[in-house]
Amino acid sequence: MKRVSAFFCIAFSMAACQTTALVKRGNAEYASGQYDKSAQSFELALREHPQDEAARKSLERARAAWADVLVGRIQTALREERYSDAVQGLQVLRDVPLSLDDFDRRGNVQKVTTDVQSKIQGMIAGLVDRGRSVEAMQLALSVGAGSESESWFAGLSQRLGAMHRERSQQARIKGLPGVSALHTALAYAVGDADTSHDTVEAAWLAIRDAHCKQGPQLVVKGSCKDCDELTAVLSSKIGNACPLNMPIKVTLQIDASDRTDRTETEIFYATRGDAARVDIVKITVPDVEFREIDDVDVKIEKIAHRDCAPRPGEERRCREWIEEKRHETPVKRRTWVQTTRQIDRPKPGPNEAGSFPYARDWIQRGAMIRGMVSVTMGDQKLVTDQPFVAKRYVEASEHDAVMADGTVLVPANRGGILDAKNLWQSVLDDLSTEVRAQILAAQEHFVEARVRDAAVPASIDTFLQADDTLVRAVAGGVTLDPGSRSYFKNRYGMGPDEAVQYLVSPRRLSP
C-alpha cells in the first residue's frame, strides 16, 4: 500500500512540475509580447490542472492582450486600405475567446468588426455590379460568419442566386448554352436554393457532349484515285463532335496520291565460303517532306475618327475618316518540298569462276497523300490551304523476311513494326489526325475572333457570344490564347478553366 501511495505522489509531483513549467513559459512569452503563444501555454497548463485559478486568470489576460494587438492591426490596415490584411486579421480575431465580463474590450472587437464589414460590403457591391459574384461571395463569407450582419450576407446569397438564375434563363432563350450552363453553376455555388446539383450536372453534360447534327462536312478534291474511300474513312474517323456548335466544312485538295507495291528478284553470285556476305549500296529515291518557313501574318485594323473641332476661317463642320492600322505578327508556316532519301540495297557480286548464283528479293511498299486542307466555320474560313503530307514506307531486302503469305514485317518510318499490307490504312489514320488538328486550330481562331469582337464597343450580346464561345471551348478541350483568358477573367473574376470547374464539380461556396 505504501508503494502505491508513493507512486501516486511521484506522478502528482511530475504533473505539478510540468504545469509549473508551462506557466513559467506562458509568463515569459507574455513579457516578450508573444500574447498568442502565451495563451497557448496557459491553455496547456489548464488542461493538466483545470482547477488552477492563477493559470486561468493569466490565460484571460493573455487573450485580452492578443485581442488588443489584433484590433490595432486591423484598424491600421483599414486606414492604409490594406483590406485583405484587415479581413485576415478579423478572421483570427473571431477565434480569440474573451471574458463575458470584459465589456469594453468586447465592444472594441464588435466596432472593428463592423468597420471591416462596412468597408467590405461596399467592395462586394462593386464586385456584384461587375458580375464577379463568386469573388463577391467569397469575400462576404470571409467576414460574415457569426456577425450581426449575417442576415445581410444571407440576403446577398439569395440575390446573387436569383440573378444567376435569371441570366441563365435569358442565355438559354438566346441560344447560348455555354453562358446558360455557367450561370446555372454559379447560382448553385452562391447558395441558390432553387438550383440543384443535378441541374448543374445536366447543364454540363449538354455542352460537354455537344455534337453537330451531321458532323463536319468533308469535301475531297483533286488527284485522288480513291476519293470515295478517302472521304468515307476520314468522315468516320473525324466524328461529329463540335463543342462550339458551329457548322464545319473541311476541304481537302489532294495534289498527289500514290501507292507503291513491288517486288524485284535479282540474281547474286557468291563463293561458297562467302555466301552469307552481301555488299550493300545506297540508292537515292524521291521523297517529299515538310519544312517550316518564317512568315508574317498581316491584319488591318480599321479605326473610325471624327473631328468636330472649330477651325479659324472655316465653316464649322465635322470631319470623318477611316484610319487603317497595319499589324504584323511573325509566324511559322508549313510547306512541303520535293526531296530525296537513301535506302540500302544489296549489290550483286560478280559472276566469277567458282561462284554460284542465288536469288534475293527486294521488296518496296509505300503510300503517300499530299495536298492542302482548309477549314470553314459558319461563314469564316479560319484555316486556309494548310499543307500536309501523310506517308509511310517500308523496304526489305532479306529473303527470309518474306513470310509464307507474302506479308512483310519491317519497321516503318515512324517506328514500331508495321504490316506492309496495311500501309494505306495507316496513312489514312495519319491524315485524319492532321484534319482533326486543323479543325481544332480553326476553333481556336474562331474563339480569338469572338474575343476581339467583344474588345471593341459593342452590344451586350457580343459579350455574351464571346463568353459562350469561351465556356464551350474549354468544355470541348480547345486551347485558349492568353488574350482570351484575360478577357474572361476581367468579366468574371476568374479564368475560364476555373469557371468550368464549377460545372465539372458543382459545389457550394463555404467559409
- Cα 202 to Cα 129, 181, 509, distances in angstroms: 28, 9, 20
For residue 494, count CB atoms less than 10 angstroms from its CB and return exposed for 0-12, middle for 13-18, buried for 19 or more.
middle
Higher pLDDT pick, 245 / 123: 123
252-282 tens-digit pLDDT: 888 888 777 766 666 655 554 444 455 566 7
Averaged pLDDT for residues 326-354: 65
311-324 tens-digit pLDDT: 777 776 777 777 77
> pTM, whole model, 2 decimals?
0.56
Question: Poorest-confidence range of 91-95, 193-197, 364-368, 479-483?
Answer: 364-368
- What is the DSSP secondary structure assignment for residue 402, as one 8-state letter? B
Q: At what angle do helices 482-492 and 496-504 cross, to 10 degrees?
A: 70
With CA atoms as reference, report the closest residue to 152 among 136, 164, 140: 140
Q: What angle do CA 166, 168, 170 make, to 5 degrees?
A: 70
> Does the structure show a pLDDT above 70 at 509?
yes
Contact 205, 177 (CB under 8 A): no
453-484 tens-digit pLDDT: 766 655 677 888 888 888 888 887 788 888 88
Secondary-structure percent of the chain, ordered helix, strand, coil, rounded to 5: 50, 25, 25
Query: Which triple of cell numbers denotes residue 446?
Result: 474562331
Averaged pLDDT for residues 234-262: 78
Q: What is the per-residue pLDDT for 143? A: 63
> Does the structure show a pLDDT above 80 at 440?
yes
User: For the range 151-157, what are the long-range contacts, defined as Cβ-Cβ under 8 Å and sequence gap of 24 or more?
Assistant: 152/121, 156/124, 156/128, 157/190, 157/191, 157/192
Query: Which triple of cell numbers denotes residue 63?
Result: 487573450
CATH dotted code for 2-129: 1.25.40
| Secondary structure of residue 484 in the 3-state scheme | helix
For residue 359, count CB atoms less than 10 angstroms from its CB and return exposed for 0-12, middle for 13-18, buried for 19 or more.
exposed
Q: What is the per-residue pLDDT for 355? A: 58
17-52 tens-digit pLDDT: 556 788 888 889 888 989 888 888 888 888 888 888
> Does the structure show a pLDDT above 70 at 12?
no
Strand pairing report for 279-307 and 319-347:
antiparallel
| Secondary structure of residue 348 in the 3-state scheme | coil
With CA atoms as reference, report the closest residue to 427 among 214, 224, 285: 224
Q: How does residue 399 score in pLDDT terms, banded at 50, 70 and 90?
A: very low
What number of other Cβ atoms are within 10 A of residue 406's Cβ?
10
Contact 467, 178 (CB under 8 A): yes
Place of cell 473631328: 307
Q: Which amino acid is at 168?
A: S
For the chain, the domains span 2-129, 217-450
